[in-house]
Amino acid sequence: MSKPAPRDLTVIGKKYVTPNMLRVTLGGDGMEGFPDDQASAYVKLIFPIEGDDKDRVLRRTYTIRHDRMTDQGREVDIDFVMHGDRDDGTDHGGPASNWAVNCAPGDMITIGGPGPKKLVDPTADWFLIAGDMTALPAVSVNLEVLPADARGYAVIEIQSEADMQELVKPDNITIEWVINPHPGTNSTALVDVVKKLPWHDGQISAWAACEFTAMKELRSYFRDDRGLGKDDLYISSYWKQGLNEDNHKTIKAEDAKTAA
């Protein structure tokens, strides 16, 4: 199947969901023909490289947090994690977050996708969902689509208590917030809490996405210590401390070969 052609979307608005999470709403005529029900699917934000005469671009991957129809047409929300001092409008972790800080209603952004959604298995007996702030949009959608009687845990690493969000979830899913002011510098913050969780009886569906080093530690725990197989577990690294997305993609591919 061929990839969807890139499309140009319009910035409808933006707002801070929490101090370190900025939500940008996209819509406009470019949404025509966009597949339905794409919350938790990923898109590629495409940025031209200034001064490059070979028409090369940067692509940055983000999760669709919400997908809805309004009186003005179809809209999607993209949440951006903020890093560094956002008061100067220049240093927020990369080209995508810098764009998000500086964009205004009416601006255009080219996107590719959407790519496939990765969700927990709703037929499992219980659930364990883990992620850092980069995965919070996908974690949130996973919680929203769980059956009403679902039980288990969601472990979410955030930068400060102020970054806690009100999440829609089943009553028997317990959320454990993990405060880590410096994401990527303490890879065990998320892992340590996951390892301490009581293990339920029955078939589990585990889902985890976070920084590369933390992902590897979680993968080892789930596979080696708990014996989970591919049907029980989705796990992915969304970023790696000290690397941009292009370099992370290379290391991620190399890791996948050895971890298969």
Q: Are 134 and 55 in contact (CB under 8 A)?
A: no
What is each CA distance from 14 to 10, 22, 74, 157, in whole angstroms? 12, 7, 16, 23
pLDDT tier for residue 49 given thresholds of 50, 70 and 90: confident
Instruction: Judge whether 208 and 235 are in contact, CB under 8 Å.
Output: yes
pLDDT tens column, 66-93: 999 999 899 999 999 997 543 333 334 6
pLDDT tens track for 147-194: 999 999 999 999 999 999 999 999 999 999 999 999 988 879 999 999
- Calculate mean pLDDT across residues 211-235: 97
- Strands 108-112 and 21-27, by their bridges, are unpaired
3-state secondary structure of 195: helix
Average pLDDT over residues 121-145: 98
End-to-end CA distance of the chain: 24
Q: Radius of gyration (Cα) for the chain, nearest Å?
A: 18
pLDDT at residue 54, rounded to an integer: 65
- Burial of 212 from C-beta contacts in 10 A (0-12 / 13-18 / 19+): buried
Structure tokens at 171: 């009553």
Question: CA-CA distance, 144 to 166, in Å (whole number)?
Answer: 12
Query: Is residue 130 within 8 Å of residue 155, measured between CB atoms?
Result: yes
pTM: 0.93
Say which residue the tokens 């317990």 belong to: 174
Amino acid at 145: V
| Residue carrying the six token digits 């992620």 | 131
- The mean of the pLDDT values for the chain is 93
Q: Average pLDDT in the 32-50 region?
A: 94
Q: What is the pLDDT of residue 84?
A: 53
Check whether 1 has a pLDDT greater than 60.
no
In DSSP terms, 98 is beta-bridged to none
The letter for the amino acid at 184 is: G
User: What CA–CA distance (Å, rounded) separates 89 from 100?
Assistant: 10
Peptide bond into 114 cis (omega under 30): yes
